[in-house]
Amino acid sequence: MNAPAIVILGAGALATARRIQALYAERGAHAEPQVAANCQVHALQGRVEADVSYTELGAHLRELYARGTPIVALCAAGIVIRCLAPLLSNKGAEPPVLAVAEDGSAVVPLLGGLAGVNVMARDIAAALSVQPAITTSGELRFGTCVLNPPDGYALADLGQGKRFVSDLLAGESTRIEGDAPWLDDAQLPRSASARLAIRVTPRAWDGRHDELVIHPRCVVAAVVSEHGGAHAGTGTADATVARVRAALNAHGLAPLSLAAMLAPSASMADPALAQAAMLLGVPLRFADASAEPGEPGAKALLRAVLRIPHETLAGDAHASVALALSALTIDPATIGRARGRLTVIGLGPGHADLMVPAARTALNEATDILGYDTYVKMAGPLRPGQRVHGTDNREEMQRARHAFELASEGRSVVMVSSGDPGVFAMAAAVLEALEASQNEAWAAVELSIVPGVSAALATAAQAGAPLGHDFCMLSLSDNLKPWTIIETRLRHAAQADLVMAFYNPVSRARPWQLDKALDIVREYRAPSTLVVLGRDIGRPGGTLRTLTLAELRSADVDMRTMVIVGSSLTRRFACGDSGAQWVYTPRWYG
Ligand code: SAH
């Protein structure tokens, strides 16, 4: 399932919201880590702080609903209904939507009967020690939604399912064929001689109306190149999907009985394979069959992972697709390993609102988080089970290599920087480590870089628009480059009348450099040139000052300060009674 969004309006609902979140965190820790990671409390901005903030309830609920996110709203059912009403006439796939009283005294499933809303209502109600307000007739009669089998099982055909349940409600009884442990406690009208049957089987449904067919996900399909060899190049996504479907079809197996697709590790970076698995709706896992010389087919791959006897595998030794069928449902996480991921993110200047959603998603999904301790703390709250590898700021290359080592073991690694990861931060170190390594396993890692709001941009936005025309970003640190280069660049930038954003302006180990830099700038810029100082922007106690180049003293600046030196055209003005002051550099040049 997707992780639910727990939506609250005020502080009064926070305690109940956290209890519901804890329920999913605990469950996810065992079975569904993604659910645990992404289950967040969404709170109305300005009223209460939680994990995610929103500004307007209606728009936020509609956005969650449209994305298919399950919603647990801690407010009146009527409010939720009114907010979602414009979207309801179009009855497509519907996520579960529940209203929960903010004191936890009532749990009302509203929408998403087929997506498991009643299961969620029962779970949440049990956690809150109340009775859920279940209104669905099938559920009430049978104590479970027959059309909503648990994870690891899939309903063959919804239309047939609905017909089947209305037959049961009309008084018919049913047989159960196959293993359906979740129906053991259901109050279904059972009879061994019934006309109707619930059949749990990986075999494809043959269209019979007196059967409700549920497929256990118990088949693994291994794919290798059609030209033989447990190597890359398995063909286009469509061709791979067609080969897997044909193999399933040849054995009378339903595509919904597939639990995972397995491919050789050497083809880890093949985008067509990833797409094929997505089209088939199953996770893609990888393994090596190298221990089986002379038998490079897909079957060898399966055998390497499953360690099961030959006979249970479908497909001949050299087939490019082989299937393994298990008597039980298969947890894909136990098959080979996943493709590792390394995502280099920027946290923005500090405040959670200035972190891009893609960075938040990467953090939520990470198994391992690396970075300078201060930034890792800023990235929190993390969930139990996420491994944190904090390090000293100076060990950049070592940290980059460590990230690749973890990711090439199949882990989901996030490397955090402040601001933007590509601005005087970790992204370049990560790429340098990758290029230098020539390591195939590192090259197969799914690497991505998520941008962030850099300190210069965050500072500029608070001041107005001092970067409104051409500008440059310079690091004044001579740790990684000679001071003479810094001087030359400063001189050229000052001479070119570029607005300049100084990163790393001073530190205890570099006490004189800023004064030297300002001396150079003063050779080219008038004393009246505006300077913006942003300190701890977006963090608690952040300050913003505007002064002139003549007034600026290096004592006004420390390591946590962003210095923006204006061009000859950068100006400021006071606006309205509040006396708010804006600094900007016009878009024209005169
Ligand atoms: N990758 C970061 C920059 C790292 S260099 C980014 O894109 O923002 C570190 C320097 O950035 C600091 O010395 C300081 O000059 C500046 N800086 C980082 N965060 C800041 C903040 N919140 N407020 C002001 N300056 C900041």
Tens-level pLDDT at each residue, the chain (590 residues):
788 999 999 999 999 999 999 998 887 655 666 676 778 999 999 899 888 899 999 999 999 998 889 999 999 999 999 999 988 876 567 899 999 999 999 999 999 887 889 889 999 999 999 999 988 877 788 877 788 888 899 999 988 888 898 899 888 999 999 988 888 888 888 999 999 999 999 999 998 889 999 999 999 999 998 765 544 456 799 999 999 999 999 999 999 999 999 999 889 989 999 999 999 999 999 998 765 555 568 888 888 888 765 555 666 666 789 999 998 899 999 999 999 999 999 999 998 889 999 998 899 889 999 998 888 888 877 777 889 987 765 688 999 999 999 999 999 999 999 999 999 999 999 999 999 999 999 999 999 999 999 999 999 999 999 999 999 999 999 988 999 999 999 999 999 999 999 999 999 888 899 999 999 999 999 999 999 999 999 999 999 999 999 999 999 999 999 999 999 999 999 988 888 899 999 998 77
Q: What was the pLDDT predicted at 232?
A: 45
Contacts of 208 (CB under 8 A, 6+ apart): none
CATH architecture for residues 456-584: 2-Layer Sandwich (3.30)
Q: Which atom of ligand 1 has the smallest separation from the CA of 425?
A: 1
| Ligand 1 atom nearest to 420, measured from its CA | 7
Instruction: List the residue whose alpha carbon is closest to atom 2 of ligand 1.
Output: 419
Supply the pLDDT for residue 94. 87
Give the DSSP letter of residue 190. B
Ranges of each domain in the chain:
5-135, 153-216, 219-330, 341-453, 456-584
Atom of ligand 1 nearest to the CA of 503: 15
Going from the Cα of 562 to the center of ligand 1, the distance in angstroms, rounded, reads 6
Give the three-class secondary structure for 161.
helix
pTM for the structure as a whole: 0.74
Contact predicate 314/323, CB 8 Å: yes
CA 80 to mean position of chain CA atoms: 26
Q: Pick the atom of ligand 1 nearest to 475's CA.
A: 5
Pocket test for ligand 1, best of 375, 396, 424 (most atoms within 8 A of CB): 424
CATH of 341-453, one of 3.40.50.300, 3.90.1300.10, 3.30.1490.100, 3.40.1010.10: 3.40.1010.10
How much is the pLDDT for 480?
A: 86
Mutational test site, ligand 1, from 476, 503, 531, max ligand atoms within 8 Å of CB: 503
Q: Tell the burial category of 499 from Cβ atoms under 10 Å away from its Cβ (0-12, 13-18, 19+).
A: buried
d(CA 563, CA 554): 10
530-535 and 543-548 strand pairing: antiparallel
Which atom from ligand 1 is nearest to the alpha carbon of 539?
22
Give residue 579's pLDDT: 80
* Residues 6+ away with beta carbon under 8 Å from 295: 289, 317, 318
Nearest CA to ligand 1 atom 12: 504
Expressed in angstroms and rounded, the spacing between residue 501 Cα and the centre of ligand 1 is 10
The CATH fold of domain 5-135: Rossmann fold (3.40.50)
Rounded Cα distance, 421 and 417, in Å: 5
- Counting ligand 1 atoms within 8 A of each CB, the residue from 449, 545, 556, 560 with the most, and so the one to mutate, is 560
- The pLDDT of residue 353: 87
Q: Please tell me the predicted confidence (pLDDT) of residue 449.
A: 98
Burial group, residue 566, by CB count within 10 angstroms (0-12, 13-18, 19+): buried
**What is the Cα–Cα distance from 41 to 50, expressed in whole angstroms?**
6
Q: Are the CB atoms for 232 and 263 separated by under 8 Å?
A: no
pLDDT at 233: 55
Residue closest via CA to ligand 1's atom 18 equals 455
- At position 439, the amino acid (one-letter code) is N
Closest atom, ligand 1, to C-alpha of 417: 1
Which residue among 430, 539, 561, 562 is best mutated to probe the pocket of ligand 1, counting the most ligand atoms within 8 A of its Cβ?
562
Structure tokens at 140: 């009430």
Residue identifier of the C-alpha nearest atom 26 of ligand 1: 455
**Core vs surface per residue 135-168: b (16+ CB within 10 A) or e:** eeebbebbebbbbbbeebbbbbeeebbeebbebb
Residue nearest to atom 20 of ligand 1 (CA): 455
According to CATH, the superfamily of the domain at 219-330 is: CobE/GbiG C-terminal domain (3.30.420.180)
Q: Give distance in angstroms: CA of 191 to centre of ligand 1.
A: 71
Q: Helices 117-128 and 14-30 meet at what angle, rounded to 10?
A: 110
* DSSP calls for 199-247: EE-SBPP---TTEEEEEE--EEEEE--TTSSSSS----HHHHHHHHHHH
Q: How far is the CA of 369 from the centre of ligand 1 (A)?
A: 20
Residue closest via CA to ligand 1's atom 13 equals 504
Residue with tokens 């973890």: 406
Asked if residue 543 lies in contact with residue 458, where contact means CB atoms within 8 angstroms, the answer is no
Q: Say if strands 580-584 and 321-325 run parallel, antiparallel, or are unpaired.
A: unpaired
Q: Give the Å distance between the CA of 537 and the centre of ligand 1.
A: 9
- Is residue 462 within 8 A of residue 525, CB to CB? The reply is no
What's the confidence (pLDDT) of residue 377?
Answer: 83
CA-nearest residue for atom 4, ligand 1, is: 424
Inter-residue contact 18 to 104 (CB < 8 Å): no
Query: Pocket residues for ligand 1 (CB within 6 Å)?
Result: 349-350, 417-420, 423-425, 454-455, 459, 503-505, 534-539, 559-562
- What is the 417 CA–ligand 1 centroid distance (Å)? 10
CB 265 within 8 A of CB 287: yes
Cα Rg of the chain, angstroms: 30
In the reported structure, the alpha carbon of residue 560 is separated from the centroid of ligand 1 by a whole-number distance in angstroms of: 6
Tell me the one-letter amino acid at 223: V
Tell me the CB-side half-sphere exposure of residue 241, using CA atoms within 13 A: 14
Determine the Cα–Cα distance for residues 69 and 161; give it in Å rounded to an integer. Answer: 24
ω into residue 511 within 30 of 0, thus cis? no
Q: Alpha carbon 374 to chain centroid distance?
A: 22
